[in-house]
A and B are shown apart, each in its own frame.
Chain A
Amino acid sequence: MSSLFGVLFDGFAYGMLLFLLSVGLSVTLGMMNFVNLAHCSFAMIGGYAAVTLMNEWGWPFLVTLPIAFLAGGVASIVLERVLYRHLYRATDLDQCLLTIGIVFVSVAAAAYLFGTTQQPVNTPQWLRGSVTVLGVTVGAYRLFLIVVALVVSAILVAALEYTRFGAQVRAAVDNQRMARGLGIDVDRVFATTFALGGGLAGLGGALAIEIIGLDPAFAFTYLIYVLIVVSVGGLGSIGGSFAAAAVIGISDMAGKYYFPELGAFLIYLVMVGILMWRPAGLFGKR
Chain B
Amino acid sequence: MSTLGTLDARGTPAAATPQQVLADGIRWKRLEIIFWLCLLLPFVLTPSYLSLASQIAITALFAVSLDLILGYAGIVSLGHAAYFGLGAYAAGLLAKWGWGEPLTGLVIAAAVAGVFGYATSFIISRFRHLALIMITLGLGLLLHEAANSASGLTGGADGLQGVKMWPIFGAFKFDLFGTTAYVYSLVVLFLTVLVARRIIHSPFGLSLRGIRENAIRMPAIGASNDAHIRKIYTIAAVMAGVAGALLAQTTETVSLEVLSFQRSADVLVILILGGAGRLYGGIIGAIIYMVARDQFSGINPQYWYFWIGLLLVAVVMFLPNGILGGLARLTRSWRGKWW
Is A in direct contact with B (CB under 8 Å) within the complex? yes
A binding-site residues for B, Cβ under 8 Å = 29, 33, 35, 83, 86-87, 90, 92-94, 96-98, 100-109, 111-112, 116, 216, 224, 227-228, 230-231, 235, 261-265, 268-269, 271-272, 275-276, 279-280
Contact A228 B134 (CB under 8 A): yes
Q: A232: nearest residue on chain B (CB-CB)? A: B134
Q: A280: nearest residue on chain B (CB-CB)? A: B131
Chain A nearest CB: distance from B317 CB in Å?
7
Note all chain B residues with C-beta closer than 8 A to A224: 137, 141
State whether A92 and B138 are in contact (beta carbons under 8 Å apart), knowing that A100-B265, A107-B302 are contacts in the complex: no
Contact A100 B302 (CB under 8 A): no
Contact B316 A272 (CB under 8 A): no
- A-B interface, 9 closest residue pairs, ranked by CB to CB distance from nearest: A104-B309, A101-B312, A108-B306, A105-B309, A279-B131, A101-B313, A272-B138, A98-B316, A101-B309
Provide the bound-state CA to CA distance between A83 and B317, in Å.
Answer: 8
B binding-site residues for A, Cβ under 8 Å = 70, 76, 123, 126-127, 129-131, 133-135, 137-139, 141-142, 145-146, 148-149, 265, 268-269, 272, 302-303, 305-306, 308-313, 315-317, 320
State whether A272 and B139 are in contact (beta carbons under 8 Å apart), knowing that A92-B76, A107-B302 are contacts in the complex: yes
Chain A nearest CB: distance from B265 CB in Å?
7
Contact A216 B302 (CB under 8 A): yes
Contact A102 B309 (CB under 8 A): yes
Contact A279 B127 (CB under 8 A): yes
A-B contact pairs, 28 of them (CB 8 A): A83-B313, A86-B317, A87-B316, A92-B76, A92-B130, A94-B320, A97-B268, A97-B269, A97-B272, A98-B313, A101-B309, A101-B310, A101-B316, A103-B309, A104-B306, A107-B305, A108-B303, A108-B305, A108-B306, A108-B309, A228-B134, A231-B131, A262-B149, A265-B149, A271-B134, A271-B138, A275-B131, A275-B135
Given contact pairs A107-B305, A263-B145, a sample of 5 additional A-B residue pairs in the complex whose CB atoms are under 8 Å apart: A83-B313, A101-B310, A112-B303, A271-B134, A271-B138
Contact A268 B302 (CB under 8 A): no
Q: A276: nearest residue on chain B (CB-CB)? A: B123
Q: B315: nearest residue on chain A (CB-CB)? A: A97
Note all chain A residues with C-beta closer than 8 A to B141: 224, 264, 268
Provide the bound-state CA to CA distance between A104 and B76, in Å.
Answer: 20
Provide the bound-state CA to CA distance between A101 and B268, in Å.
Answer: 12
Interface SS of chain B: helix
Note all chain B residues with C-beta closer than 8 A to A116: 302
Contact A111 B302 (CB under 8 A): yes
Contact B313 A105 (CB under 8 A): yes
Cβ contact of A105, chosen from B126, B146, B306, cutoff 8 A: B306
Note all chain A residues with C-beta closer than 8 A to B131: 231, 275, 279-280
Contact A268 B142 (CB under 8 A): yes
Note all chain B residues with C-beta closer than 8 A to A93: 70, 76, 272
Chain A nearest CB: distance from B142 CB in Å?
5
In this complex, the member of B142, B269, B272 whose beta carbon has the largest number of chain A beta carbons within 10 angstroms is B142
Provide the bound-state CA to CA distance between A268 and B149, in Å.
Answer: 14
Contact B302 A112 (CB under 8 A): yes
Provide the bound-state CA to CA distance between A105 and B302, in Å.
Answer: 9
Note all chain A residues with C-beta closer than 8 A to B126: 276, 279
Contact A92 B133 (CB under 8 A): yes
State whether A35 and B130 are in contact (beta carbons under 8 Å apart), knowing that A87-B316, A104-B312 are contacts in the complex: yes
Chain B nearest CB: distance from A41 CB in Å?
11
Note all chain B residues with C-beta closer than 8 A to A265: 142, 145-146, 149
Chain B nearest CB: distance from A271 CB in Å?
5
Chain A nearest CB: distance from B328 CB in Å?
18
Q: A101: nearest residue on chain B (CB-CB)? A: B312
Cβ contact of B130, chosen from A98, A100, A231, A262, cutoff 8 A: A231
Provide the bound-state CA to CA distance between A112 and B309, in Å.
Answer: 15
Chain B nearest CB: distance from A88 CB in Å?
13
Note all chain A residues with C-beta closer than 8 A to B312: 97-98, 100-101, 104
Provide the bound-state CA to CA distance between A4 and B65, in Å.
Answer: 47
In this complex, the member of B138, B265, B272 whose beta carbon has the largest number of chain A beta carbons within 10 angstroms is B138
Provide the bound-state CA to CA distance between A165 and B9, in Å.
Answer: 50
Note all chain B residues with C-beta closer than 8 A to A230: 130
Contact B302 A264 (CB under 8 A): no
In this complex, the member of A33, A216, A224, A230 whose beta carbon has the largest number of chain B beta carbons within 10 angstroms is A224
In this complex, the member of A90, A93, A106, A263 whose beta carbon has the largest number of chain B beta carbons within 10 angstroms is A93
Provide the bound-state CA to CA distance between A35 and B133, in Å.
Answer: 11
Provide the bound-state CA to CA distance between A152 and B2, in Å.
Answer: 60
Note all chain B residues with C-beta closer than 8 A to A33: 129
Cβ contact of A104, chosen from B139, B142, B308, B316, cutoff 8 A: B308
Provide the bound-state CA to CA distance between A216 and B306, in Å.
Answer: 12
State whether A227 and B76 are in contact (beta carbons under 8 Å apart), knowing that A103-B309, A263-B148 are contacts in the complex: no
Chain B nearest CB: distance from A184 CB in Å?
24
Provide the bound-state CA to CA distance between A216 and B129, in Å.
Answer: 29
Provide the bound-state CA to CA distance between A86 and B135, in Å.
Answer: 27
State whether A264 and B145 are in contact (beta carbons under 8 Å apart), knowing that A101-B311, A104-B309 are contacts in the complex: yes
Note all chain B residues with C-beta closer than 8 A to A86: 317
Q: B127: nearest residue on chain A (CB-CB)? A: A279
Contact B145 A104 (CB under 8 A): no
Q: A272: nearest residue on chain B (CB-CB)? A: B138
Chain A nearest CB: distance from B269 CB in Å?
8
Contact A98 B134 (CB under 8 A): no
Chain B nearest CB: distance from A251 CB in Å?
14
Note all chain A residues with C-beta closer than 8 A to B303: 108, 112
Contact B134 A275 (CB under 8 A): yes
Contact B145 A268 (CB under 8 A): yes
Note all chain B residues with C-beta closer than 8 A to A90: 316
Contact A276 B135 (CB under 8 A): yes
Chain A nearest CB: distance from B201 CB in Å?
24
